[in-house]
Structure 1
Amino acid sequence: MLSCSGSGGGSSSSSSSGAPNILYVIMDDVGIDQMESFGYGGDTPPSMPNITAIARKGVRFRNTWSMPECSNGRASFFAGRYPFRTNIYQAIGGNDLANSQLTPYDVTVPKLLKNANYESAMFGKFHLAGPDNNQAGYNTPAQLGWDYFYGWIGGLPGSLDSTAGGIAASGTYKCGFVPSSVATSGACYYANSSCKAMSQTSLAQDAAGLQCLDSGGIFVPNQSCGTPPANLNFNEQNAYYVSPLLIIENGQEAVQVPLTDSRARGYRTRIEADAAIKWINGKKDSAKPWMATVSFSSAHTPWQQPPKKLIPVGNVAGADLLDCTNSNDGRVIQNQMTEGLDSEFGRIMIETGLATRGADGSLVYDPKASNTVIVIVGDNGTLGNAVKLPFNAQEAKGTAYQTGVWDPLIVAGPMVAAPDREVDHMVNMVDLFQFFGELAGLDAHALVPRTIDSVGLLPYLTKPDQSSLRTINFTQGGYNIQANGGRNAPCVFSASSCSQVPISKSVCQDNGGVWWGSGYTDPTVIPNSGVGYTSCYAVNQAKYIAGGNSMTAPAPNAQVKINPEKSTAIRNTKYKLIQNYTQTFAPGTTAPNSLVSYELYEINQAAPVPKLDDPSLAISIPYAGEALAAYNDLYAKLQSLLISEPYCPGDGNNDGVVNAEDLSNWQKIYSIATSSNIWSSVYNFMVSGVWNGITSTTDEQTIKQNLGNTCPKTYSIY
């Protein structure tokens, strides 16, 4: 095994095997455009001194792609496989079947590392599988290999509670707490009926209402403690401060912590850090190496102010008066949330003994002082409203354009030669899967019984002159699999564009959109007896009819731009080819027009102004010379890659053959539910192009009809 031994102490001491410990930090919706340490960040970069300190003692990978959204980005690095292999094309929602979740048969990073005797834990956002449409329910983290989990399985914070715990009418408090403009003092009640007086005595303090919320209470402004008011509601989620926590320990059944429990109340980023610190410090005498994944929820929407003590002093004045529903204020709050993430990351480093504080308060990190590797990533690109110039806010998270998939990757540790350097070679987040294996001395390709898309990263750390290990890079987003061909309902942004990326009405609204699906409530939605609309195509069709059968009707019946429903990209060192699939509306049609388009760009990683794939800069057709050669090469490789994982009916465990093991697996799943309520699973097979979401005897017949079949060989292109 690779030995990265050093003279560390405390929780970071070396395991007896010599394999390094791994601290893996995931930032949510923090693309490279936010990162001043990579040469970007625009005019108002978030202050991230602690992460910058690690970057200066490690390697900054400046040309790293992830996938366009949360779940497919996370599945890529935890399973080492592109979306068309896992069927996870976008954020997993409550309607997505087990066919679009990581499965019990996937080899995840913690399962891989068990070959080297690692213990693995995750803190924070999961969003890889379950609880909906999955036979493991809330136990999917354990099923996928984690020994310990402390966080949120669905991943997304709940919506802002504008009633602030039931004390006001809906819509009153835009950020989920009573601001200082309403009250600087009051009574803070807790779920156990206790009460504490809260007050704000200086601008350096949080508003009394936020102090109370952060401590787990509900704030009643301008009152003294007494009999708790009858309208207090301790069972309502409130974005980053009240969340339904889940705990799994040592393979035991998942414990769902109710919202009335103090453990589920408090600032989410701090809860994530506290849990990680406790677990890591508990491993200081362990003979086993460990991997701790701190999967921060920040800075995902809904945007909500962190406690002031987590953000730079110069940014605290007036913070509690910002409006969380205003996009301009939201950009400020998003910065503060990223800064709060950085503060809590720094605390993890200090309180686990992986770093110290200098006399000026700065983080002092010596990568050779412990046998621990630090890896920091973003899971996908930045949400459009928060994108920093010169990156394109219109082509951000949810798309395969650079702003949607270009992410920071920082690696530091005792094996890094010539630290404080940059690597401009192409890297993909799937490569982290192999890298974690490399750290443990494992050959991931040899140990995983299916095609993985990873190439190595370790050579870039140990050899500063290492040439590129990739000739192409790849990213992909689209629709997850839902029963009977279902899709997420449409969400319209700024009355001008429509997307089916948001997984629910609340997520649509939390991101500033108008929900046009079932249960719509916004007055701008063209009413259809409450049924709602199933697609962006249907939105434009309704607008066309309401506008007097006009494609050019003025607002509110103007046609909206339909965002690509599938977005895929491939690149080499100079050129990038994007394939977009969109369904559009045309008069006189009863079904969408399916359009596949290609765009070719010349791109680079120059700082602070990179050459980006802004649609206005697409290379004009017809291509010629070098551009034509690049297009032909990238197009051929893209098509080859997309057909490299042929569907194999009956092979539910994806081991390459349909055999008695598949029948046995099907039977186990089928036997745990009645015939009217069979779990969604990977043993529900596609019939006539769709999955019905029920594991039934029809699926058993599919297995029997294909028994003995060997699946077509899959392959990858690097």
Structure 2
Amino acid sequence: MQFRLLRQGALLVASMSLASCWLDSDSGSSSSNDPPAADQPPNILFVIMDDVGIDQMESFGYGGTDIAGPPAVPSIDTLADSGIRFRNTWAMPECSPSRATFVTGLYPMRTNVLQAIGPDDLANSHVSPYVMTIPKVLATAGYENGMFGKFHIGGPENNPAGFAAPAALGWEYFYGWGGLPASIDTSAGIVGAEDQYSCGFVPGPGQPGGAHAGACYVPQAGGSASCTEIAGEQDGDPAGLQCLTQGGVLVPGQACLAQVVEQSELEGLVDFKRENAHYVSKLLINWDGEVEDVSLADPRSRGYRATIEVDSAIDWINTRSDDTPWMATVSFSSAHTPLQHPPRALAPTARADTLEANCTSEAPLNQRSITDALIESLDTELGRLLVETGLATRASDGSLSYDPQASNTMVVVIGDNGSFAPTVKAGFDMGRSKGSAYQTGVWVPLVISGPLVEQPDRNVEHMINAVDLYQFFADVAGIDLDEVVPQGTDAEEMLSYLTNPERDSVRELNFTHGGLNILANDGVNGPCVFSGNFCSHTPMSAQICADNNGVWWGPGAVLGTEEGDPIKAVDHCWQVNQAIYEKYGNDYEEHRVTMGALDYMAIRDDEYKLVRNEALEYDPDTDSGVLIKSNELYRINQAAPIPRLDREDHELPKDDLDAVEQEHYDELNYQLDLLLASHQACPGDGNSDGVVDQEDIDNYTQLSAEWGESSMYDFNHDGLTNAQDLAIIQANLGACPQ
């Protein structure tokens, strides 16, 4: 079905008919270090790391106090040495909200993208196709825009654009995945081997279920499969991982039926239709108005994600014309859960030699080592990306040789949120990590290098927010945002930090925000309990809860293990404590779990930080959930290697603040309330242009006729775009509240 959306009179194509920015076949290819055209703005290579907090980065001063040390990231270190390390950067507490701020220049409260987007989240919590995303902004200056890897800011579920969501948001070319890596396939693709292989591949001999050799079946286009017999280790990888890296399934201890066999003949032996974390994922391609949802049995959907992400970026960058600027967004899936071994050759340190074939939470030290290996593999592939696009070369010793002045390309590398709790490095707070507004959850590495940097190899200690990259990209392209985005943004200028080493701080305050996305009828994801004592609504399913070492209490959960055990599946986190109270009575306090906040945010100045949490707590007296709000004040810094964090025992007592502390507390409270008040609801304004008018009626009419389900015009959150929403538009015609 073709579907079109309107924004201020301009036609946007949501699923088809986008103009292609690819070159004709006779245009030739170019190297990114060729001399740019006169007065041409720089190209932009934007690299996003998944779940990599600043605690992982030795070049930022951290990670060195961890027992195993930090992961080795020589490519990122080289970029940092040739550019700027922004040591005081905040992202949002989770991936989708941060990515939405990158591309919209807006804080989460304005986009309604407040947590990782799940399949049940309505379009109201997807990035809107009506907003001026950064690829749309850069297109006004003639930039071509490609995105590679993880998308996760909208669709395909509950979204009118469906699989064409990347195109609807402005990318001429997208090659990657809609969202997170799927769960590990514990059958490793072998029929009848369920729950035998916790890492998704057949391990080597000496490990449970291990094998020295076997037949490796790799699906091919057209419905056939090739087969090779693999034996022994290569680059340290057992035969099972070697086969998985090639996109295949290893049948241990068997010879090939034939070198080429029809997939239908393998039924009952191997299953090519199972997703497998970082190795088998449904590939999505948007290109030249075409949308392709690639099957799992297609060889393009199979192989190590980070390698596929970089391969596709290299192919696109190397076919850009010298006289057209481009922005390539390489959005890595590493080091997000499920934690799974990368190919050994991509993780060069000795840590990879110690990995066990146990990817469960029962092997926490192994999980930490797997995370380090995932980060190292990301860095290795980033180095290959730089070399194979001509942005860098290899020295005689194999190290990366990078001259930021040799190409007309700015390189930006950032983490999307803090580290996942079990992987947090020493010196940081595992209990207040990803998914919280505390420092370990939102403090991320940011490196910028390229020809615009004056006096490279320096640190900037001033506050930066992930949202500021929106303004930065526009400034690099020479675009006046006031003209292109007259509604304004939350982004602050940061380009001057590159050109003026003495620049004072642009930001006086920093802000981060997380919460719950909008589900049908304003429901919530089911409760997930982590480490036995913390309940969260962030995981959107039982499997994702399990992938993140949690215990699911939501729909379908079966938790009672003893006769008469009252513990049962519930809808809300506070009901977990209700069930625990029913079971333990007077001993309830010993067993109750901590409630994760439903709305959580933080604001800081140079020295102090205010954290505001809102949570529903169970009240035994009323046998119900009661909303609890808290404001917490901390004094923080960026000291290395051990920073002063907002740990639980560091909270400043509000009834005993000195005069200076009270002044900061009052000012931060005031500024936070002022910021929140700057966003006012405007029912009926589906395209967020600040007015409810005929354009909203026209958009509604098209959506309701051609789609009818969840959209930006579903104002009552019932998952439908229907006459009830039209009535809301008609009742609110006029300018939005200012």
- For residue 32 of structure 2, the aligned residue among 2, 11, 15 is 11
Find the partner of 2:624 among 572, 587, 591.
Answer: 591
Establish whether residue 692 from structure 1 lines up as the match of residue 718 from structure 2: yes
SS at match of 1:51: helix
Aligned to 1:702: 728
> How many residues get paired?
689
Q: 2:459 aligns with which of 398, 410, 422?
A: 422
Q: 1:529 to 1:586 in 2, by over 3 A?
A: closer
Give 3-state SS (helix, strand or coil) of 1:404's partner: helix
Q: Is the 8 A contact 1:450 1:654 kept in 2?
A: no
Amino acid in structure 1 at the alignment position of 2:53? G
The one-letter amino acid of 1:200's match is G
Q: Per-residue deviation at 1:324?
A: 4.2
**Larger mean Cα displacement after TM superposition, 512-521 or 328-337:** 512-521
The one-letter amino acid of 2:327's match is: M
How far off its partner does 1:230 sit? 2.1
1:176 and 1:88 map into 2 onto residues whose CA distance is: 32
Distance 1:362 1:522, change over 3 A: farther
**Conserved? CA contact 1:88–1:101, under 8 Å:** yes
Which residue does the alignment assign to 2:231?
A: 199
Alpha-carbon distance, 1:314 to partner: 2.0
The match for 1:92 among 110, 117, 142 is 117
Measure, in 2, the Cα distance between the counterparts of 1:301 and 1:441.
38
- Stretches of structure 1 that go unaligned for 5 or more consecutive residues are 1-8, 714-718
The superposition leaves residues 164-222 of structure 1 with CA deviations (integer Å, 9 ceiling, x where unpaired) of 103443221110010002111111112323211011246x3311000011111110111
The answer for the alignment partner of 1:238 in structure 2 is 276
Q: Secondary structure at the match of 2:32?
A: helix
Match of 1:440 among 477, 481, 498: 477
Scaled by the length of structure 2, the TM-score of the pair is 0.91
Instruction: Please tell me the residue identity of whatever aligns with 1:173.
Output: Y
Find the aligned partners of 2:44 and 2:74 in 1 and give their Cα distance.
Answer: 21
Match of 2:78 in 1: 53
SS, match of residue 442 in structure 1:
coil
Q: Distance in 2 between matches of 1:602 and 1:553?
A: 30
In structure 2, give the amino acid aligned to 1:636: Y
2:242 alignment partner in structure 1: 211
Which consecutive unaligned segments of at least 5 residues does structure 2 have? Answer: 1-29, 259-265
Q: 1:529 to 1:630 in 2, by over 3 A?
A: closer
Task: For 1:473-484, list aligned pairs within 5 A.
Answer: 473-484=510-521
> What per-residue deviation string (whole Å, max 9, x for no partner) do you get for residues 489-513 of structure 1?
1001122211111111111010001
Partner of 2:336: 300
**2:697 is aligned with 1:663:** yes
Matched ranges for 1:35-46 at <5 A: 35-41=57-63, 42-43=65-66, 44-46=69-71
Amino acid at match of 1:569: A
CA distance in 1, matches of 2:601, 2:694: 36
Distance 1:313 1:545, change over 3 A: closer
Query: Following the alignment from structure 1 to structure 2, what is the Cα–Cα distance between the partners of residues 445 and 319?
Result: 52
Per the alignment, do residues 323 and 132 of structure 1 end up closer, same or farther by CA in structure 2, a change over 3 Å counting? closer
1:216-615 equivalent positions in 2, closer than 5 A: 216-226=247-257, 228=266, 230-250=268-288, 252-283=289-320, 285-325=321-361, 326-521=363-558, 532-547=569-584, 549-552=585-588, 558-615=591-648
In the aligned structure 1, how far is the partner of 2:435 from the partner of 2:554?
Answer: 19
Deviations 1:672-709 (A, max 9, x none): 14xxxx221111114xxxx22211111111111222x2
Say whether 1:184 aligns with 2:225: no
Report the Cα distance in structure 2 between the residues aligned to 1:253 and 1:94, rounded to whole angstroms. 23
In structure 2, C-alpha distance between the alignment counterparts of 1:694 and 1:229, rounded to whole Å: 41
**1:229-280, CA deviations, whole angstroms, 9 ceiling, x for partnerless residues?**
6231100000001000001112x23101100010000101100010001100
Question: C-alpha distance in 1, partners of 2:637/2:141?
Answer: 38
What is the distance in 1 between the residues matched to 2:360 and 2:336? 13
Conserved in 1, the CA contact under 8 Å of 2:76 and 2:379? Answer: yes
Listed one character per residue, the Cα deviations across residues 8-65 of structure 1 (whole Å, up to 9, x for unaligned) are x823432555110000000000000101110001322000001100000001100000
**Alpha-carbon spacing, 1:662–1:274, altered in 2? closer, same or farther (3 Å):** same
Whether the aligned pair in 2 keeps the contact of 1:178 and 1:221 (CA below 8 Å) is: yes
Q: Does 1:648 align with 2:682?
A: yes
The aligned amino acid for 2:257 is G
User: Which residue is 1:159 aligned to?
Assistant: 183
Q: Could you tell me how far apart the structure 1 residues matched to 2:569 and 2:318 are?
A: 51
Supply the distance in 1 between the matched residues of 2:529 and 2:634 (Cα, whole angstroms). 28
Paired-residue identity, %: 48
User: Structure 1: how far apart are the matches of 2:87 and 2:122?
Assistant: 35
> Aligned partners of 2:122 and 2:100: how far apart in 1?
15
TM-score (structure 1 length as normaliser): 0.93
Output the CA distance in 2 between the equivalents of 1:711 and 1:590: 40
Are the aligned partners of 1:68 and 1:476 in contact in 2 as well (CA < 8 Å)?
yes
1:569, 1:579 within 8 Å by CA — same for their partners in 2? yes
C-alpha spacing 1:313/1:702, structure 2 compared with 1 (3 Å): closer
Structure 1 residue 522 displacement after superposition:
5.2
Looking at structure 1, the residues matched to 226 and 337 of structure 2 have their Cα atoms a distance apart, in angstroms, of 31
- 1:76: Cα distance to partner? 0.8
AA matched with 1:195? C
